[in-house]
Amino acid sequence: MANPGPQPAEVPDEFTFHHAGFASPSLARDGQFFQMLGYIQEGPDFSDPGQGIAGRFLIGPGPRLELLENLPGSDTLSPWLGAGGRIYHFAYLVPELESAMTWARENRGKMIVPPRPAVAFDGRHICFFAFREGMVLEFVEAGSNG
């Protein structure tokens, strides 16, 4: 029997899944599609010039989604849109950003966005890590408004 090699560590119990990030060329168009699937908008649209994105959260019959589009003049999402990828990150609420970053590094994640405040989370800090498998994880400081 072949050795499958080192196995990644499971996501710690204190990490709580929050949403799947969906790169969109048009919030309006994709929002209509997900509405057809039974999703509704959760809160107002937001704009985060520091990240170069605009977005909205959707809730419905599946996991919470975060639809994101580039702000004018931004290319934040262009690598995923250009490659045909649409769902490109999973986000987890974490009690401590530092411990989440340590976990990601121990599992061969590479930080692609260092900690910064996020408009979508009332200024709580977020950071992003890319993994060799092509997936990106976003860590969001846990807070009272999830």
pLDDT in tens, 111-123: 999 999 999 999 9
Per-residue pLDDT, 5: 55
Per-residue pLDDT, 131: 94
**71-85 in b/e burial notation, b at 16+ Cβ within 10 A?**
beeeebbeebbeeee
* Per-residue pLDDT tens digits for 41-52: 999 999 999 999
Query: Could you tell me the CATH superfamily of domain 19-141?
Result: 2,3-Dihydroxybiphenyl 1,2-Dioxygenase, domain 1 (3.10.180.10)
Mean pLDDT of the chain: 92
Question: What does the domain layout of the chain look like in residue ranges?
Answer: 19-141
pLDDT band at 134 (very low <50, low <70, confident <90, very high): confident
Per-residue pLDDT, 1: 52
* Per-residue pLDDT tens digits for 36-86: 999 999 999 999 999 999 999 999 999 999 999 999 999 999 998 998 878
